[in-house]
Amino acid sequence: MSLFRPSQNHLSLGRAFFDQVDAADFPKTVLRHRDQRWASRVGLDGLSEAEWLTHFGRFEPLPGSLPQPLALRYHGHQFRSYNPDLGDGRGFLFAQAHDLEDPRLLDFGTKGSGKTPWSRGGDGRLTLKGGLREVLATEMLEALGVYTSKSLSLIETGEELYRQDEPSPARSSVLTRLSHSHIRIGTFQRLAYLEDTDSISQLLDYCIANYYPDLAGAADKPAAFLQAVVANVARLGAQWTAAGFVHGVLNTDNINITGESFDYGPWRFLPHYDPGFTAAYFDETGLYSFGRQPDTLAWNLTRLAECLLPLSSIEALEPALNTVWPIFREELPRQMLRRLGLTPRDTESDGAFVTELFGFLLSSKASYEQFFFDWRGGTLSAERAARSPSAELYASEAFRPVANGLENYGPANDVNLDHAYFARTTPRTMLVDEVEAMWEPIVERDDWSRVETALAEIAQMRQAYGVTP
């Protein structure tokens, strides 16, 4: 691990921000997923399988990083009801290190690693299916150009779990994710709830030093920090929309301050464009539906602003909040055109085209991912689109305004339609039925071949789209 560049930065916050905990002692450890590409980014690609299981199954500390796991403290609004009884209940911050290709700090966070003081009566475990779903979500989102945490490791741990939302007993696992931050809006909310202004100031300084160092000289650090977080979170909302992704549980404790998609639960991808589509069966009012995600992110950012008030003022913070929707509206056409591999023209034209496109997708119920696949590069793909399962829709009168709009755009420089991925008739998708189809042979005969095929196809898609995280 000579290239591994460890950090212990989180310890500088002090014991008021976390609890030192021990990992669970699992009866067995079986490696199910190892992201070798990201392992190399942090200098861990040379670990043997036995060494990997030692660090990410039994959580022996990585040299020079955190000497003991930290269960982080936070509060949060859950479906807009404040809950002060939160915190890392089945995970912890295991390590920190620097990306070898980018000097930014990376956190190694876990899910399913055992009980903590914040387990709230839970068993601190993660089902194997839940871990697999997070691997699939992060791999797919990264390939679609969404800023997301990475699933570094998934290890089956040999326990039987009982869950209301899965057939039980369920197999257990522990996941290790890489994320640029595990500081959540809820981390600030806890300190505001406790009226601990000194700690809010300390946390703000930590976030600026580690995640927004260019703000170090800002005249009004709280306002500058809020503006930076607003920009990143609004951009994330636009990326989700372009990817047709529904997070499912956008509580304030599930939004981090780097604007990075993470903490995946009942996520889903759209089969077709539907603003009312929800991912979680318990989201009975559709609060976190696809079309309401941007509004929810704006609401959550307002909660962050409230936490910063002791260090600033409404007059200083309000301008940043007023930019949430303008940034989203500017970013959405950019993200949609990026997915289509087209060069933007101007704000007004791009916005009008995307509005027309959404209208067609809504009325036609065309396959969401199929459309982006078929029309990658715009009119350069007209012949490909004519062979698509959606070809009849593209020949309809309803599609004509979109077709006319596509003619106004040229391909982006990175479009490579000669890539083998575009020889397919249909794109790689990750709809809920496909996930279930992958899981079925695992349950029946421990057959992971469908998962392996899906991950290989996602890697091919990422390369075809030229995504470089």
Binding site residue list for Mg(2+): 254, 263
- The verdict on whether 418 is a catalytic residue reads no
CA distance 64 to 44: 13
Phi/psi for 94 (5° steps) reads -90, -40
Give the CA count within 13 Å in the CB-facing half-sphere of 63. 10
Residue list for the binding site: 87, 89-90, 111, 123-124, 177, 184, 254, 263
Query: Which residues touch 276 (CB under 8 Å, ≥6 apart)?
Result: 286, 289, 290, 291
DSSP string, 121-143: T----EEHHHHHHHHHHHHHHHH
- Say which of 35, 107, 253, 283 is annotated catalytic: 253
Cβ–Cβ < 8 Å for 26, 157: yes
Neighbouring residues of 85: CB distance < 8 A, sequence distance ≥ 6:
118, 120
* Contacts (Cβ under 8 Å, ≥6 apart) of 229: 257, 258, 259, 301, 304
**Phi first, then psi: what are they for 126, rounded to 5°?**
-125, 135
- What residues form the annotated binding site for ATP? 87, 89-90, 111, 123-124, 177, 184, 263
Residue written as tokens 């087209």?
342
| H or E element at residue 197 | helix 197-211
| Cα radius of gyration rounded to whole Å, the chain | 22
Beta-carbon count within 10 A of 2 CB: 5
Residue 82 near residue 42 (C-beta atoms within 8 A): no
Nearest-angstrom CA–CA distance, 110 and 174: 7
Known catalytic residues?
A: 253
